[in-house]
C-alpha cells in the first residue's frame, strides 16, 4: 500500500500526527533481567527491543585461544516471529541481520574501552519483540543502555536515529522536507538513513543508507539526524540518571 | 536430553541434599514447602503486533516471552471431512478426540458446530533458546511436549475452525531470554498459558462458508479462551514439573534439587468448562541426577589406604556398591517410579484445591 503523503503537503503533519522534526515516544528501562550482567528494554514508538549483555568474560566458543589485546564485541540479533505484521521466521544467517550485527559490533568496538579487557568477549544479545521502523537505531540505543548497566567503561553514549526525505520524486524538490525518526510505513516508501553519534553531535559512529536519494537532500537529512541524535542522547541520559537515582535510594534506605 | 552434564556438586553434597529432601517434612535448600512455588513476575498483553503475548520472570533471573500470532489459512481439500465421520479430530499426531475427551466433554460441544473439526497441524509451536540451534534436542523436545499438551486439550484446535474452507493457523513463538539455569519447561509452559489466555481473534462478520470477513474493530474481538465472571471456564493447559525423592513429592524443583531427583514427571493439566482440572499429558523426564558421579565406599577407596579393592572379589565389590545405594555414599538413582507414587503426583496436581488449581488461579489474577 503506497504511503498517502497528500495530507503532509496541506498540514505539514505526518500520518501519525507528528511534525517533521518530532521523535516518537521513547521509553527505556535498565536492569530488566537479573541473570545477565547488563540488560535493558528500549521502545521507540512501536519498535520494542530487549538487550542483554554478558561479559566481559573468557571466550567460550572457538578452539584457539584469543591472543588479541582487546575485548571482542559479539552481537547476536534475534528477530521474533511475531514482531512484524505477518508472522515470519528469520534464520540467523539472514544477510540483513548479519550486516546489522556487524554494524553494531564495530560501532561499540570503537566506543568501549576494549583494551582494558584483553583475551575476553563482550556478548550482546538483542531480541526484537516488535518492529515498526528505525530497527538499527533502536538496537544501538538499547545496546548503549545495557552496556552502561553492565558497567563496561565507554567514552560516551552512542545515540542513533533515522531521517528520511519526504517527496521521493525529483520534480518536487522544493517540498522535500527532511523527516526525523521514521516509522515502519514511512520507511518502506521514503529514502532514509540511520545515523548514530557519540558525544552529542561531535562524532559520527554509524551512518548507513540503503536507499537512493538526490545528493542535494543529503546534507539536510544528516543535519536533522545529528540534531535527533542529540535529543535521543538527552533521553538516554535521563533514563540512566533516573535508574541511578533509584539504585542509590534503595541503597540508602 | 540433559541440559547439564556437569553438576557442580560433590557426592557428599548430593547425598546430604538427598537425605534432607527425603525427610518428613522435607527440608528444601531454599526453605520452601513441598508444594510452594518460587516467586515470579508476570505480565500479559505486552506486544502490539501479536494476538496475545505474555512475559514471565522467575526469581532466579530466567525470563521468557511468548507471542501468539494467528493467520487465516485456506483449508486443504483433504481436511474437509464430514463432521460426523470417524476421521474427524484424528490429527497428524494421531491423538484424536478419544485420547483427550471424555463423554462429558462431548456433551458440552454439542451445540457448537466447530466441535471436532480442528486439525493438529493448525498449531505451531517454536522455541528459541539462546546459544542453541533450532534443531537441538532440548528445544525440539520441549516444543513437542508443549504441543502435545495443547492438542490433547482438544478444545483449542476446534476453536481455530472458521468455516469448511478456512481456518486460523496459530503460531506460538516462545523466546527464552536468559541461559537455561534450571529445566525451563515450567517457565515456558506458564508463559504460554498466560499468552493464550490473553489471545484475541478478530470477530467474524461473514456467515457460513463465505470467504471470511472480519470486524476491524479490535475492541470487538473475541478471546480464544473467553473469560467469564466465575472461575468455571476452559483454560489452556499448564505443564508442571514434579519430582520425587524417596516418598517425598516436590513441586517447582530448583536446579540443585533436580540433581538428586529419583524421578521427574512433566504433568500437563487443563481446565474443562465445568472448572475441573484433568490431566491431558504426562511425560517422564530423565533426571540429571542419573548423570552424577557416584561416591566410592571408604573400604574400597585406595587413596585412604583401604585395601578392599585388592582383597575383595569383583562380586563382593559390586554387592557393596549396590547395597550402599544412597546410604553412606551417593549413588545415582536407577530404575523406575512406583505406580502409586505416580498416581499420587497426578492427584496432587489435578485434585480440587490442589497445586494445579492454585497455579491457574494465580495466573488468572495477572493484570494486563
Q: What is the CATH number of the domain that holds A135?
A: 3.30.230.70
Tens of pLDDT, residue by residue over B165-205, are 888 999 999 998 877 667 888 889 999 999 998 999 998 88
Would A203 be classed as within a structural domain?
A: yes
User: For the segment A225-237, what is each residue's pLDDT rounded down to a tens digit?
Assistant: 999 999 999 999 9
- List, as ranges, residues 148-177 from A with C-beta within 8 Å of B: none
Average pLDDT on B229-247 reads 82
Mean per-residue pLDDT, B208-231: 81
Domain span holding position A56:
11-252
| Longest pairwise C-alpha distance within chain B | 86
Give A194-247 pLDDT, tens digit per residue.
999 997 667 899 999 998 888 888 999 999 999 999 999 999 999 999 999 999
Q: Which of A33, A224, A24, A227 is nearest to A145 (CA)?
A: A33
Partner-chain residue, chosen from B49, B60, B62, that has the shortest CB–CB distance to A82: B49
- The reply to whether residue A78 touches residue B128, judged by beta carbons under 8 angstroms, is yes
A208 touches chain B (CB under 8 A): no
Beta-carbon separation of A85 and B49 below 8 A: yes
pLDDT band at A169 (very low <50, low <70, confident <90, very high): low
The percent of residues above 90 in pLDDT, for chain A, comes to: 53
> In this complex, how many residue pairs, one in chain A and one in chain B, have their CB atoms less than 8 Å apart?
72
Of residues B95 and B322, more confidence is placed in B322
At residue A174 the predicted structure's pLDDT band, cuts being 50, 70 and 90, is low
Is A217 among the domain residues?
yes
**Burial, B353: exposed, middle or buried (Cβ in 10 Å; 0-12, 13-18, 19+)?**
exposed
Beta carbons of B49 and A46 less than 8 Å apart: yes
Do you find a cis peptide bond into B25, omega within 30 degrees of 0?
yes
Which segments of chain A does DSSP mark as H helices, in order?
Answer: 6-11, 95-111, 135-150, 184-189, 215-252
Any chain A CB within 8 A of the CB of B60?
yes
Distance CA A46, CA A39 (A): 19
User: Is A3 part of any domain?
Assistant: no
Q: Do B126 and A81 touch (CB under 8 A)?
A: yes
User: What integer pLDDT is reported at residue B88 of this predicted model?
Assistant: 43
**Where is B173: in which H helix or E strand?**
strand B166-176
Q: How confident is the model at residue B1 (pLDDT cuts 50, 70, 90)?
A: very low
Q: Which residues 168-187 on chain B approach chain A with CB closer than 8 angstroms?
A: 171, 173, 175, 177-179, 181
Task: Tell me if A82 and B128 make a contact (CB, 8 A cut-off).
Answer: no
Distance from CA of A222 to the nearest CA of B (A): 31
> Measured between beta carbons, which residues in chain B are less than 8 angstroms from residue A131?
49
Residues 6+ apart with CB under 8 A from B186: B239, B240, B241, B252
Environment class of A74 (CB within 10 Å of its CB; exposed 0-12, middle 13-18, buried 19+): middle
C-alpha distances out from residue A181 to A29, A225, B7, Å: 20, 8, 49
Whether residue A132 is contained in a domain is answered as yes
In the numeric block, which cell numbers belong to residue B343? 498416581
* CATH numbers and ranges of domains, chain B: 11-295+330-364 (3.30.230.70)
Q: How far apart are CA A106 and CA A124, in angstroms?
A: 12
Higher pLDDT, B153 or B251: B251
The pLDDT value given to residue A20: 86
Residues of B in Cβ contact (< 8 Å) with A83: 47, 49, 67
Length of chain B: 368
Name chain B contacts of A84, Cβ cutoff 8 Å. Answer: 49
Place of cell 535529543: A231
CB atoms under 10 Å from CB of A251, counted, come to 7
Q: Is the pLDDT of residue B108 over 50?
A: no
A226 φ/ψ angles, rounded to the nearest 5 degrees: -60, -40
pLDDT (mean) for B58-71: 88
Domain assignment present for A2: no
Q: Which of A96-110, A130-144, B145-159, B289-303 has the lowest mean pLDDT?
A: B289-303
Q: Which of A34, A46, A87 sits opposite B69 (nearest CB)?
A: A87
Extract the C-alpha cell encoding B41.
513476575
Read off the DSSP letter of residue A211. S
Closest residue to B177, CB basis, from A33, A83, A86? A33
Question: What are the C-alpha distances in Å from B359 to residues B13, B240, B263?
Answer: 31, 9, 22
d(CA A179, CA A157): 23
Q: Is residue A18 part of a domain?
A: yes
Whether A47 has a pLDDT exceeding 60, the answer reads yes
The single-letter DSSP state of residue B334 is -
d(CA B149, CA B1): 19
List the single residue in B62, B69, B130 with the smallest CB-CB distance to A82: B69
Contact between residue B5 and residue B332 where contact means Cβ atoms under 8 Å apart: no
pLDDT band at A153 (very low <50, low <70, confident <90, very high): very high
Q: What is the dihedral of CA B235, B241, B242, B243, to 10 degrees?
A: 180
Q: Is the model's pLDDT at B231 over the cut of 50?
A: yes
pLDDT in tens, B117-136: 778 888 889 998 877 777 88
**Residue A90: band (very low, low, confident or very high) from pLDDT cuts 50, 70, 90:** confident
d(C-alpha A6, C-alpha A14), whole Å: 10
User: Closest Cα to residue B267, out of B347, B197, B337, B187?
Assistant: B347
Q: What's chain A's average pLDDT?
A: 87
Q: What single-letter DSSP state applies at residue B289?
A: G
Q: By the CB < 8 Å criterion, does A50 face chain B?
A: yes
**Whole-number pLDDT of residue A161:** 94
Mutate to test the interface with B, among A81, A84, A184 (most CBs of B within 10 A): A81
Residue among B47, B62, B130 minimizing CB distance to A82: B47
Query: Does residue A146 register a pLDDT over 90?
Result: yes
Instruction: Compute the mean pLDDT over every residue in chain B, rounded to the nearest whole number.
Output: 79
Residue B80, classified by CB atoms within 10 Å of its CB into exposed (0-12), middle (13-18) or buried (19+), is: exposed
- Quick check: A33 and B71 CB within 8 A? no
pLDDT value at residue B320: 75
Helix (H) / strand (E) containing A163: strand A158-165
Q: Is the pLDDT of residue B368 over 80?
A: no
Average pLDDT over residues A29-45: 91
As a whole-number percent, the residues of chain B with pLDDT over 70 amount to: 83
| The three cell numbers locating residue B109 | 460441544
Chain B residues within an 8 Å CB radius of A82: 47, 49-50, 53, 67-69, 171, 173
Q: Which residues of chain A make contact with B67, given a CB cutoff of 8 A?
A: 80-83, 129
pLDDT class of A6 with cuts at 50, 70, 90: low
Number of domains in chain A: 1
Greater confidence, B5 or B311? Answer: B311
d(CA B316, CA B283): 37
- Confidence grade of residue A151 (pLDDT, cut at 50, 70, 90): very high
Q: Work out the minimum CA distance from A52 to partner chain B, whole angstroms.
A: 8
pLDDT at residue B364, rounded to an integer: 83
Nearest to A205 by CA among A108, A122, A73, A125: A108
Please give the pLDDT value at position B101. Answer: 39
Say how far apart CA B144 and CA B156 lie, in whole Å.
16
Whether B50 and chain A come into contact, CB under 8 Å, resolves to yes
pLDDT(B112) > 80: no
Nearest CB partner across the interface for B47, out of A34, A89, A130: A130
Strand A72-79 relative to strand A120-130, pairing: parallel
Residue A185: inside a domain: yes
Amino acid at each position: 500500500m503506497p504511503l498517502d503523503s497528500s495530507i503532509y503537503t496541506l498540514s505539514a503533519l505526518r500520518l501519525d500526527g507528528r511534525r517533521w522534526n518530532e521523535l516518537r515516544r521513547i521509553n527505556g528501562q535498565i536492569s530488566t533481567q537479573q541473570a545477565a550482567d547488563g540488560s535493558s528494554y528500549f521502545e521507540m514508538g512501536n519498535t520494542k527491543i530487549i538487550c542483554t549483555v554478558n561479559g566481559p568474560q573468557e571466550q567460550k566458543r572457538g578452539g584457539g585461544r584469543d591472543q588479541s589485546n582487546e575485548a571482542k564485541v559479539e552481537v547476536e540479533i534475534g528477530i521474533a516471529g511475531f514482531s512484524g505484521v505477518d508472522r515470519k521466521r528469520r534464520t540467523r544467517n539472514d544477510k540483513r541481520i548479519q550486516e546489522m550485527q556487524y554494524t553494531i559490533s564495530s560501532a561499540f568496538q570503537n566506543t568501549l574501552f576494549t583494551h582494558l579487557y584483553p583475551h575476553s568477549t563482550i556478548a550482546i544479545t538483542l531480541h526484537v519483540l516488535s518492529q515498526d521502523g528505525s530497527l538499527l537505531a533502536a538496537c544501538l540505543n538499547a545496546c548503549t543502555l545495557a552496556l552502561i548497566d553492565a558497567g563496561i567503561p565507554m567514552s560516551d553514549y552512542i545515540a542513533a536515529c533515522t531521517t528520511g526525505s519526504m517527496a521521493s520524486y525529483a520534480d518536487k524538490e522544493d517540498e522535500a522536507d527532511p523527516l526525523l525518526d521514521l516509522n515502519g510505513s514511512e520507511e518502506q516508501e521514503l529514502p532514509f538513513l540511520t545515523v548514530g553519534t557519540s558525544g552529542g553531535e561531535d562524532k559520527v559512529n554509524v551512518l548507513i543508507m540503503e536507499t537512493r536519494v538526490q545528493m542535494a537532500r543529503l546534507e539536510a537529512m544528516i543535519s536533522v539526524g545529528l540534531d535527533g541524535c542529540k535529543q535521543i542522547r538527552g533521553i538516554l541520559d535521563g533514563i540512566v540518571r533516573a535508574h541511578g537515582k533509584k539504585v542509590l535510594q534503595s541503597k540508602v534506605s | 536430553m540433559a541440559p547439564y552434564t556437569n553438576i557442580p556438586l560433590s557426592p557428599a553434597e548430593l547425598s546430604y541434599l538427598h537425605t534432607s529432601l527425603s525427610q518428613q517434612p522435607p527440608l528444601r535448600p531454599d526453605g520452601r514447602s513441598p508444594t510452594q512455588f518460587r516467586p515470579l513476575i508476570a505480565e500479559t498483553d505486552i506486544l502490539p503486533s501479536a494476538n496475545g503475548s505474555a512475559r514471565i520472570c522467575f526469581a532466579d533471573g530466567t525470563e521468557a516471552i511468548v507471542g501468539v500470532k494467528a493467520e487465516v489459512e485456506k483449508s486443504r481439500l483433504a481436511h474437509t471431512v464430514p463432521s460426523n465421520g470417524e476421521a474427524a479430530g484424528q490429527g497428524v499426531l494421531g491423538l484424536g478426540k478419544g485420547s483427550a475427551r471424555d463423554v462429558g466433554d462431548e456433551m458440552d460441544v454439542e451445540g457448537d458446530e466447530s466441535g471436532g473439526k480442528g486439525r493438529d497441524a493448525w498449531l505451531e509451536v517454536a522455541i528459541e533458546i539462546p546459544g542453541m540451534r533450532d534443531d537441538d534436542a532440548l528445544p525440539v523436545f520441549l516444543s513437542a511436549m508443549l504441543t502435545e499438551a495443547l492438542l490433547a486439550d482438544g478444545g483449542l484446535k476446534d476453536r481455530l475452525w472458521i468455516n469448511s474452507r478456512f481456518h486460523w493457523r496459530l503460531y506460538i513463538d516462545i523466546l527464552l531470554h536468559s541461559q537455561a539455569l534450571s529445566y525451563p519447561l515450567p517457565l515456558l509452559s506458564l508463559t504460554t498459558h498466560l499468552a493464550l489466555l490473553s489471545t484475541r481473534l478478530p470477530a467474524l462478520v461473514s456467515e457460513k462458508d463465505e470467504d471470511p470477513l472480519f470486524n476491524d474493530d479490535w475492541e470487538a474481538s473475541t478471546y480464544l479462551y473467553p473469560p467469564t465472571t466465575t472461575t468455571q471456564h476452559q483454560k489452556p493447559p499448564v505443564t508442571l514439573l514434579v519430582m520425587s525423592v524417596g516418598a517425598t513429592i516436590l513441586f517447582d524443583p530448583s536446579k540443585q534439587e533436580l540433581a538428586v531427583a529419583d524421578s521427574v514427571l512433566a504433568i500437563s493439566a487443563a481446565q474443562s468448562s465445568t472448572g475441573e482440572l484433568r490431566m491431558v499429558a504426562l511425560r517422564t523426564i530423565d533426571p540429571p541426577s542419573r548423570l552424577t558421579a557416584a561416591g566410592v565406599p571408604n573400604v574400597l577407596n585406595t587413596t585412604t589406604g583401604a585395601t578392599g579393592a585388592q582383597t575383595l572379589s569383583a562380586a563382593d565389590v559390586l554387592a557393596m556398591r549396590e547395597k550402599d545405594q544412597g546410604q553412606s555414599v551417593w549413588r545415582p538413582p536407577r530404575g523406575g517410579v512406583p505406580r502409586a507414587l505416580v498416581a499420587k503426583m497426578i492427584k496432587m496436581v489435578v485434585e480440587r484445591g490442589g497445586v494445579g488449581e492454585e497455579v491457574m488461579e494465580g495466573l488468572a489474577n495477572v493484570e494486563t
